[in-house]
A and B are shown apart, each in its own frame.
Chain A
């Protein structure tokens, strides 16, 4: 994954991701407004279909590539986790990511 531009401010990135997930995937109205710490997997907000769509969204929106080895639960556990992953850049992923994606 390429480095996200530094111009993306902390709250702005969270807001974009939170807004997209809230709008597209949250089925249980009691989860709204969605907290950045709300678990997305246990609550079923993300399933196999919504996860793929989220990956496509961040790839298009931020011009990055999510490697197959990055498609792990830790990176998609919450809005905060997604943003932390997006900010982590290529560190630790390039060695495994060659030849895929």
Chain B
């Protein structure tokens, strides 16, 4: 019985050892190879002192190598923490210190960068290289690592036995991974997901998408984005093939569509903005995507115009809208009817083994279509909490207000919803300062906190600018202290050193004073109108 994520791999490797598990460019791995290599990685991790429950960083793009590393970390009883390879070093070291990462799995390209983080991450003691120079081990030997840091090359991993790692004491409520997301006070929040929580989603998702071993599943979402849980683990559960495309593939839509045709992709999962790029710039009519049978999108609202365009261009596919904050995996789903998308596209009904309900501002449970409330989620798919932030956790993981008989936890999404006459939930907006850009969550407060870190900035407000392609762009309005001569370039440079690219403001404006409401708060509504 699979009660840990890595059991999905050992089961599929036992049933279908020679089926392709991962296809990444010209490198592919069978289930048997993926199982054996990840056993070798697990042995190295254990030899490096990784104990059950430890957090292991993964600093690499999505690739055959990083999937080997992820399963290796899980088989060692550890919890993996994906580290965005394109994030600034300062943010990576913040996350590594916060989660107490002592061992990092990195690909050959990122290994020197991982080693360089030792200066700002005192507890870091090992960097283990996973791939990617398959068959050319020993190449690219890094410069001498800093004192006290062990760098384990890939050929040392390959020297380990590939048989099953036994004696793993992990249980289903132990952590499988921590995904860091934007935090409103300026510190990223580590969403802790257990094996049970992830498997609840994975089992539902594989069944809902009807995954079978002939499927070729692709998602361009990077490892630190929760969409990647589907194409890594649901694919593995079905003994299907995970097709990896470079993370920058969506930049060049025609090339991506060409690759989808060549790789015979049958199931696609991405944020809507990537699909909007494909339907706008992808020349879909010029390629044969007849094998694409299911298109899944999540992470933000899909503008109906573009979804309709996509469905007209590829009418043979199923279109599934999945909804769920990282804290809940996915909690609702809606299958878009073939006749064309309703406007707006509902987020649908609760997934299997999950319940959702909406609570009105007076505390009553929403019971009639059209009533508005905050969406709550209950069930085993919920996170364990935010790593090291019990206060933040208590704000969102609350006692279920409608369960009097025993203690039950529910997650407050902060999302306002209503229900349509068919019982489908419809997303209306946020209660707080969180916006989405390209599916990424951005807490406006985290961007503001970064701006306040500049000595010349007296006050700063960040506002979303609605954008059809991206969801939102970010506009910063800044008051400076005296005649500082602060320029827009300096502000952007300051942000880029602290924030991932998607959180850097697109527009920077300066003003003498910020408009205030009568109770002294910054008048965001007036600022938003002043464009």
* Residue positions of A touching B, CB distance < 8 A: 23, 27, 29, 41, 44, 46-49, 51-52, 68-69, 71-73, 96, 100
Contacts and interface: CB of A to CB of B under 8 A. Distances in A.
A48 B248 contact: yes
A69 B284 CA distance: 11
A68 B250 CA distance: 13
28 contacts: A23-B489, A27-B496, A27-B497, A29-B493, A41-B248, A41-B251, A44-B86, A44-B501, A46-B251, A48-B248, A48-B251, A49-B438, A49-B470, A49-B501, A49-B502, A68-B253, A68-B254, A68-B281, A71-B251, A71-B252, A71-B253, A71-B254, A72-B252, A72-B254, A72-B255, A73-B255, A96-B283, A100-B281
Given A68-B283, A73-B252, A48 B493 contact: no
B493 A52 contact: no
B57 interface: no
B16 to A, nearest CB: 35
Most B-side CB within 10 Å, residue of A23, A48, A69, A73 = A48
Contact of A47 (B254, B281, B497, B501): B501
Contacts of A46: 251
Leading 4 A-B pairs by shortest Cβ distance = A68-B281, A27-B496, A48-B251, A68-B283
B281 A71 contact: yes
Nearest to B257: A68
Contact of A68 (B282, B438, B497, B501): B282
Q: Which of B250, B283, B496, B504 has the most CB of A within 10 A?
A: B283
Nearest to A69: B254
Contacts of A69: 254, 283
Contacts of B469: 52
Contact of A48 (B250, B255, B286, B489): B250
Interface residues of B, number: 25
Nearest to B277: A48
Contacts of B248: 41, 47-48
A69 B257 CA distance: 11
Contacts of A27: 88, 493, 496-497, 501, 504
Contacts of A48: 248, 250-251, 277, 438
Interface in B231-267: 248, 250-255
Nearest to B86: A44
Contacts of A73: 251-252, 255
A88 to B, nearest CB: 17
B161 to A, nearest CB: 37
Contacts of B286: 96
Nearest to B470: A49
Nearest to B278: A68
Contacts of B501: 27, 44, 47, 49
A49 B273 CA distance: 11
Contacts of A52: 469
Contacts of B251: 41, 46-48, 51, 71, 73
Nearest to A48: B251
Contacts of B277: 48
Interface in B278-321: 280-283, 286
A72 B256 CA distance: 10
Residue in A23, A27, A41 whose Cβ sees the most chain B Cβ within 10 Å:
A27
A41 B86 CA distance: 12
A23 B497 CA distance: 15
Nearest to A42: B248
Contacts of B489: 23
A69 B251 CA distance: 12
B506 to A, nearest CB: 8
A69 B493 CA distance: 33
A48 B470 CA distance: 10
Contacts of A51: 251
